């Protein structure tokens, strides 16, 4: 199979335009990449900006959640690999070459993430503060520190799985993407990683230490920057309920760890329940409306 691009960068977004403006130019610098923005509901401010960029925009008529936005965007990909990332993740130079060095048909390659500590930083990430918002992001300091760190480190990879990650397009299709019962998005990533680990043979999941990303953290998604709100807590609990309903148990692996599925081999995921699943999502989000695909034609 021939591909037009080596990598299709998939960025779902809802109301984070100021952060998207930071990261998008960095991805567009890559000679390897197509960029597809999964716009979760029509937004005129986004469109005014994106129509002047060399990107493909996949857009629902109204918001449906990260899972739906990601899946629809991935359908527009023309790359051998998909790169799934948040809209508030800024890559350091060389991220694409570093990921492709470890890439292959049986590999999922995650990036190394630095976060400022706006929310608790997981052990697999590194706490590094180069600004808390788009206005005070110290890009030059971040790039200098990232390049110095990459130069000095001896180990290039380690076991692990987290956003952002590079996955073969054929593997993504075999997994059928994200499970949309988890919209607006919480619990969708452990579900995806467990499904990948249950494949026979399972893909190798490694973290590339030479591909560094600055993540503002807590800014992405349908409840951007508002993790402590009662609405986010409600969806957080509902997603975990849906995970238990699907698998009959909760995941045991910690954030960033490769799932140990030795005790999951005989478990088969249940179908999405109508009342707590599809009907609930329809009542909360409403109909998706028309799905549109728009291609910007001008360089940044």
Domains identified in the chain and CATH numbers: 5-295 (3.90.550.10)
Specify whether the CB–CB gap between 99 and 111 falls below 8 A.
Answer: yes
The residue count for the chain = 300
> Can you tell me the mean pLDDT for 30-46?
95
Q: Is residue 69 predicted with pLDDT exceeding 90?
A: yes
> Can you tell me the mean pLDDT for 61-90?
97
Q: 3-class SS at 148?
A: helix
Q: Is residue 222 predicted with pLDDT exceeding 70?
A: no
pLDDT for position 297: 66
> Can you tell me the mean pLDDT for 255-280?
94
Q: Residue 56: phi, psi to the nearest 5?
A: -105, 130
Report residue 23 as tokens.
């990261």
When the pLDDT of each residue in the chain is averaged and rounded to a whole number, the result is 93
Q: 3-class SS at 68?
A: helix
Report residue 112 as tokens.
């190394």
Tokens 């005790």, residue located: 263
Specify whether the CB–CB gap between 242 and 180 falls below 8 A.
Answer: no
Q: 3-class SS at 245?
A: helix
More confidently predicted of 221 and 219: 219
pLDDT for position 121: 92
Q: Is residue 35 predicted with pLDDT exceeding 80?
A: yes
Cα separation of the two ends of the chain: 31
> Can you tell me the mean pLDDT for 181-185?
93
**How many C-alpha atoms does 178 have within 13 Å on its Cβ side?**
25
With cut-offs at 50, 70 and 90, classify the pLDDT of residue 230. confident
Specify whether the CB–CB gap between 12 and 74 falls below 8 A.
Answer: no
With cut-offs at 50, 70 and 90, classify the pLDDT of residue 36. very high
Please name every residue paired with 107 in a beta bridge, in sequence order, or none if there are none. 204
Cα distances (angstroms) measured from residue 279 to each of 50, 269, 275, 287: 33, 19, 5, 11
pLDDT for position 227: 52
What's this model's pTM, rounded to 2 decimal places? 0.94
Q: Is residue 67 predicted with pLDDT exceeding 50?
A: yes
């Amino acid at each position: 199979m021939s591909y037009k691009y080596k990598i299709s960068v998939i960025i779902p977004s809802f109301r984070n335009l100021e952060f998207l403006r930071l990261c998008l130019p960095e991805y567009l610098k890559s000679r390897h990449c197509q960029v597809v923005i999964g716009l979760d509901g029509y937004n005129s401010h986004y469109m005014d900006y994106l129509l002047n960029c060399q990107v493909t925009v996949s857009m629902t008529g109204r918001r449906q959640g990260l899972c739906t936005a990601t899946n629809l965007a991935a359908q527009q990909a023309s790359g051998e690999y998909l790169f799934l990332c948040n809209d508030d993740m800024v890559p350091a130079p060389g991220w694409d070459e570093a990921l492709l060095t470890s890439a292959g048909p049986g590999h999922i390659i995650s990036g190394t993430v630095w976060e400022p500590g706006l929310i608790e930083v997981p052990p697999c990430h590194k706490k590094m503060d180069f600004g808390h918002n788009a206005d005070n992001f110290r890009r030059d300091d971040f790039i200098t520190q990232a390049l110095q760190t990459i130069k000095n480190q001896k180990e290039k990879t380690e076991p692990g799985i987290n956003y952002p990650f590079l996955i073969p397009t054929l593997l993504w299709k075999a997994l059928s993407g994200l499970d949309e019962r988890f919209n607006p998005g919480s619990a969708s990533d452990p579900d995806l990683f467990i499904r990948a680990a249950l494949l026979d043979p399972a893909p190798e999941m490694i973290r590339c230490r030479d591909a560094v990303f600055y993540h503002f953290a807590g800014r992405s998604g349908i409840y951007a920057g508002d993790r402590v709100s009662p609405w986010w807590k409600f969806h957080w609990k509902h997603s975990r309920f849906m995970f238990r309903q699907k698998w009959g148990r909760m995941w045991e692996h910690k954030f960033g760890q490769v799932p140990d599925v030795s005790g999951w081999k005989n478990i088969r995921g249940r179908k999405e329940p109508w009342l707590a699943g599809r009907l609930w999502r329809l009542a909360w989000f409403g109909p998706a409306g028309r799905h549109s695909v728009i291609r910007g034609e001008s360089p940044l």
